Chain A
């Protein structure tokens, strides 16, 4: 469970590539990043995930030096860079819009950073050519950015960023300008390149599926703070809050009361529903359970495990699965469920019994 989490491994942990130490960023009275701390281990891909306006892009720009922290410290490779400007930090960034210089061709774009460092011409060219080959764009050196497809433009942006061999590579929503089919491929390419070169990558996205697919670790942000920080698996199966549960894939949140703890389990009650679930240190009192859509089973007959009564309000056929909205009265809830069984589709108005796959229910505070 803890693979990839920085600083938790016992063997002498190397310096984290990036360390945020209680970083605050304020614009006037607005706090965009509020006391955020995390470590990013070298050679891992960590995603900053959250809804728009949660502060994830500001966090990324704080790493890059494009914004200056109001309070707190930022360390890159163990060195305090809080006061340094973007040009002085050993960090490169791939922008959402790619930000390719329109008046330079592919080669000039990729060699821009090397020239800014003042390297010799021959070295600039050989290094730039090597990185262009790495992203599969050899032969495109003389093209203008406007003559490339969206996917190619992005590869140029990646080549331009990695040519400086930065300690940390930043991606700001790199897939948002690509069409749906290309997204999966580019996503896999980025992940492949990161693993091949053992790059440290910080990746910003608002798409939880994308985050789950590429990340070693995910930092979920909400309202300028870190909501949860963990592996994809931890976040999906053991969210620590209603927000994370809901944000990491749809979840039905049912208000419940925790009656008592009984060893490792808590006895939970909501209307006619009574369940025993791992208590996860959630105290007796009001709480909620997060129910994934695929953990809900609908049946027209009362099964052995009983279940609560409900009525199908809506059903939608989506090819490989069916989506249902079911209303239950006790506890009163409107549940969103998916069912892979497309042979029998329950129509609206059908009375059903709702039961849950207990292994997939999570108690959250």
Chain B
């Protein structure tokens, strides 16, 4: 009946032994560098010397790999003597040396120009890291974890310390390191030389900060352009979101359909689709333009291409997000407070003004900042409908893909954009987060929310109804537009566009997918499906660490994890190109980099779903399991995970759907072989093939709707629906 005696557990022989074995494997057997022909083809076995492990490379032209042997030896000696203390030093040194040699020696010679200057040679070369390096580094990280756990970190729990280090390592490599690459590339000229003076010049360039438009000039700096649109979008979206939230929760309608519809729309709609629909409605040859010019003689103009179009498209796209934030806030205002006010003889209007409004004010600021961030980060709408009006996200793109191909300029623009979004994110978290009066997840008390005062109700309807009508029209255009010749002008139905994109033909070898959209669609679905479980796993693991464990630096860890929400997709895209185009980690042009960008872009959603779910699981359940002799991993597996099914499903769906609709980051990463649906659609729209673009977008929306509804039916309406609203309605970082 006695439990394992503590002496057995002081030295985790099996754990350390297994990781040591893996480290030896990584060093002695597995190919240290990327295998061009692919690891799984096992061609490297036949050419073991040239494509072999670090141990061989060390004696054949890559002597900088030999020092990695020493920590391995030291760790082995420690474990033979049954010590964990010291493993952290050995592992830490190994990882540090890997970072140093990896960054210092690139595939074109010295990784730093000052090294080349110092040495006076081009320097040695090495390709990107391969499986051997990965396995070696991971094993060393876990040996560090064993030591730290032995010193009592995280209550001496190896599993917790190990997962924590693993999550931190991946965040550092895939979130922090790319951002640092942007900085480092901003301080260099295009040939890679260190040029800090150039940074100053680029950073304060009049193209970015110029105020020419105020003085009657044609253009203002792109930073001001972006800021202007973001503020407009923030204001309009918040106002509309509030009106809709008030209608949904505080009038007789209490419309379930409104709530549900609005919570689904922004998820399943690829972001640029709305811009596309607006062009078809209000563009020079658009439906409405046509109507006005035909019947009223109003001349055609290009007014929609620019601020007006971007703002309209983004307000249409982001109002649902503001709405969901405000619904959460409004639900958190206890009706009993409004009732208390009314029993104190306050009129409805006075109650709203003096009780409800002050309580939701922090929520309004939150909604504003979230819409602001989304607008800044939006790439596809400005691309499609922006015309000559430049914003930061599109400028970054054109700096890289355009004729200029100025990576330095792209990096500087990315820094400016990142500065804005991170500032908004910080304000949202640090300032408003602490001012929120609304109790989230507190005990609900009875009472009926006070109905809106008459004037406010009329006002809410007044702004919400036109918006709803426009939304319906936009979606109608998307769904119908691809099935007529030219919507507005020639409304005869046609399957031409649909067949171009999605035809299936019978050829010599049987049926095959001959439509032009199939390759990108199947590729997108494949990559999104692969990324789905990883996003859920790392997001939920992070949520578990944040919610259930106490450790030094927890706040910083949370910040790093949630920060990727505030990093615009274009910045992620450019940073991945800058960071992973060259060794030590070389991934551009592969499907892997797209999957990784999906995982870390969508991770905050999984974290939030996990946190919301964990908040409802009493901590005493974990503790009960621990006191019954189950360690934290067994507790996670047998108690927490079964209770987290709703969060797992939510995280999976969201990561899948968001991966399907993502465009801003992956437009940098997609290639001919790894083409993606959204990138393909943007490409079609860019060359004016609206028919195919619209049909493809409609198919995506319908496909995603089917997936959502299907999973909802499969998992059970109740648990999922409730969880999704909860997860999405939560403001950032709540």
Contacts and interface: CB of A to CB of B under 8 A. Distances in A.
B623 interface: yes
Interface in B1-39: 1-4, 6, 9
B100 interface: no
B643 to A, nearest CB: 6
Contacts of B623: 64, 66, 86, 93, 95, 99
B284 interface: no
B443 to A, nearest CB: 15
A103 B155 CA distance: 27
Given A66-B627, A112-B630, A117 B639 contact: no
A90 B3 contact: yes
A83 B624 contact: no
A214 B312 CA distance: 71
A101 B152 contact: no
Interface in A63-120: 64-66, 68, 79, 81, 83-93, 95-97, 99-103, 112-113, 116-117
A203 to B, nearest CB: 15
A160 interface: yes
B156 interface: yes
B357 to A, nearest CB: 36
A189 interface: no
Contact of B6 (A84, A91, A93, A112): A84
Contacts of A161: 627-628
B626 A83 contact: no
Given A102-B643, A116-B634, A88 B627 contact: no
Given A112-B625, A164-B1, A87 B618 contact: no
Nearest to B150: A83
B713 interface: no
Instruction: Kindly name the residue among B4, B155, B156, B632 whose own CB sees the greatest number of chain A CB atoms within 10 A.
Output: B155
Interface residues of A, number: 34
A117 B152 contact: no
A101 B629 CA distance: 15
Given A85-B155, A113-B628, A116-B628, A96 B2 contact: no
B628 A112 contact: yes
Contact of B627 (A68, A79, A86, A165): A86
Question: Is chain A's binding surface mostly helix, strand, loop or mixed?
Answer: loop
Instruction: Kindly name the residue among B156, B627, B643 whose own CB sees the greatest number of chain A CB atoms within 10 A.
Output: B627
Contacts of A64: 623, 627
Contacts of B630: 87, 112-113, 116
A59 to B, nearest CB: 15
Contacts of B634: 116
B621 interface: yes
B631 interface: yes
A85 B630 CA distance: 10
B627 A117 contact: no
B620 interface: yes
Contacts of A117: 3, 629
Interface in A122-181: 160-161, 164-165, 170
Nearest to B643: A103
Interface residues of B, number: 28
B627 A92 contact: yes
Contacts of A92: 627-628
B642 interface: yes
Contact of B621 (A91, A101, A113): A101
A165 B1 contact: yes
B639 A164 contact: no
B339 interface: no
Contact of A93 (B1, B2, B155, B627): B627
A97 B618 contact: yes
B624 A88 contact: no
Nearest to A112: B628
B157 interface: yes
A170 B628 CA distance: 12
Contacts of A86: 623, 626-627
A160 B157 contact: no
Interface in B628-660: 628-632, 634, 638-639, 642-643
A319 B166 CA distance: 67
B628 A88 contact: no
Interface in A12-56: none
A88 B156 CA distance: 11
Contact of A88 (B1, B3, B625, B639): B3
Contacts of B152: 68, 83
Contacts of B639: 101
Contacts of B156: 83, 85
Nearest to A80: B6
A232 B634 CA distance: 41
Contacts of B627: 64-66, 86-87, 89, 91-93, 161, 170
Given A85-B155, A90-B2, A95-B623, A116 B629 contact: yes
Nearest to A81: B6
A160 B620 contact: no
A85 B624 contact: no
Contacts of B629: 87, 113, 116-117, 164
Contacts of B628: 92, 112-113, 116, 160-161, 164
A93 B624 CA distance: 7
Given A68-B155, A99-B618, A103-B642, A85 B1 contact: no
Instruction: Kindly name the residue among A79, A81, A88, A90 whose own CB sees the greatest number of chain B CB atoms within 10 A.
Output: A88
Instruction: Kindly name the residue among A65, A86, A100, A160 whose own CB sees the greatest number of chain B CB atoms within 10 A.
Output: A86
A88 B4 CA distance: 7
A88 B620 CA distance: 17
A236 B455 CA distance: 66
B3 A97 contact: no
A101 B155 CA distance: 23
Contact of A95 (B1, B620, B642, B643): B620
B155 A99 contact: no
Interface string A280-313: 0000000000000000000000000000000000
B2 A88 contact: no
A96 B621 CA distance: 11
Contact of B624 (A89, A91, A99): A99
Contacts of B618: 97, 99
Contacts of A93: 623-624, 627
Interface string B454-472: 0000000000000000000
Interface string B140-167: 0000000000001001110000000000
Nearest to B157: A85
Contacts of A84: 6, 9
Contacts of A68: 152, 155
B6 A88 contact: yes
A91 B643 CA distance: 25
Given A85-B631, A164-B628, A97 B620 contact: yes
A99 B6 contact: no
Contacts of B643: 102-103
Interface string B409-430: 0000000000000000000000
Contacts of B157: 85
B158 to A, nearest CB: 10
Question: Considering the complex of A and B, which 9 residue pairs feature the smallest CB-CB distances, nearest first?
Answer: A113-B628, A99-B624, A99-B620, A86-B626, A116-B630, A95-B620, A93-B627, A116-B629, A87-B631
Given A93-B623, A95-B623, A160-B628, 20 more contacts: A65-B626, A65-B627, A66-B623, A83-B156, A85-B157, A86-B626, A87-B632, A90-B3, A93-B624, A95-B620, A99-B623, A101-B625, A103-B642, A112-B625, A113-B628, A113-B630, A117-B629, A164-B1, A164-B628, A164-B629
Interface of B: 1-4, 6, 9, 152, 155-157, 618, 620-621, 623-632, 634, 638-639, 642-643
21 contacts: A65-B627, A85-B156, A85-B157, A85-B631, A86-B626, A87-B3, A87-B629, A87-B632, A88-B4, A89-B627, A90-B2, A90-B3, A93-B623, A93-B627, A95-B620, A95-B623, A102-B643, A103-B643, A113-B630, A160-B628, A164-B629
